[in-house]
Structure 1
């Protein structure tokens, strides 16, 4: 849910197939059918990885890839290009404008998924790590467990996703709308005030006594995981690390 993949593909059937298989792997998927529309939307918000078709209406995939590489904010965006062109000269052209990988249609869906995983491991290792840590809080994605200073914290499914979302990007301020998209998904309507309710529940669960609140409220903007909290190791964690061989 928290790893976002944009698929720019004008073949409806293929777009549906890619969305289904990628969502089955736990990714949040946004399918765009035109190159010019993708260009505008990617200026507003970048995904973690882009799957880009070569031939698109409005703006070709090759030109879109070239533009993305010229922008500072997207110059390192992982891009996999899809195309029916299998000639060596065309593959070279796709890679020369900035694509990181190249898949020729028709392709094996499991192979594409494997390429996606491999690229995320290289470019966004924090997105696939099973364990996240911030300050004295540890989050285990695989077993859905959260601990603070060694004690178990019981979180509901939504609060767990919120904590995971914050811990992936310490210091970044997320608006309520961004939190709704990242945690609840774009296909579900939830009032923005619901975000405040669940952030309140999360704070109540993770904070005890005089413990420092790791979640920072930014007036008029949204919420963030305090980067100073994230950078601080607790004495409990230091003790555990010293005890390890």
Structure 2
């Protein structure tokens, strides 16, 4: 499953349009290239719809949000829906401020995502549940399976909840990924990059649930591989090894 999906991505090199967190654009672009996709990042509302129509997938990430960007996301999202390409929404820090919360609802009222990806606090907020957060991070206890089911039902979409274990829901089927490493929680943008790779995986033919699970598994295994490298001493030395590991050949 993992081999087939990743090989298809690498053969097709899907162009993924990102309207994303300015803090992590370079890391996201390099990570997607290593995985096998091709990044493009356009934010001007005057061109986002046109860029989306040239692309095979769209990622909307509200990490460094502003009003023009919300408008751009809606325009790009509508274009993605019109041409039928996968769209992943990452509601980064949605519970942190009223502005972010309202922006998420505006986007979700206008745009139909294929998958919503976030941590437990972000996803719980979308369904009016309370999970403790600190900034953009989820810090409280939560029933991840219950949360993904609630979000999937409310928005009629696939859902991925990231954490020590990743829990997803697609077409009423819940799946769990247990690969990964604690260093992922100690670097900026690990979740943002994951959203990009999930978008790329959804562009290839096959079962979307299988593609999401395969991506989560590969991402976690790449983190494990990178952390085990003898020259990795902490989060700083982990990052380049992690990018390398995302590009590794996948074994059957």
TM-score (norm 1): 0.38
Instruction: Kindly indicate whether structure 1 or structure 2 has the higher relative contact order, using CA contacts under 8 Å at least 6 residues apart.
Output: 2
- Larger Rg belongs to: 1
Normalized per residue, which structure has more helix? 2
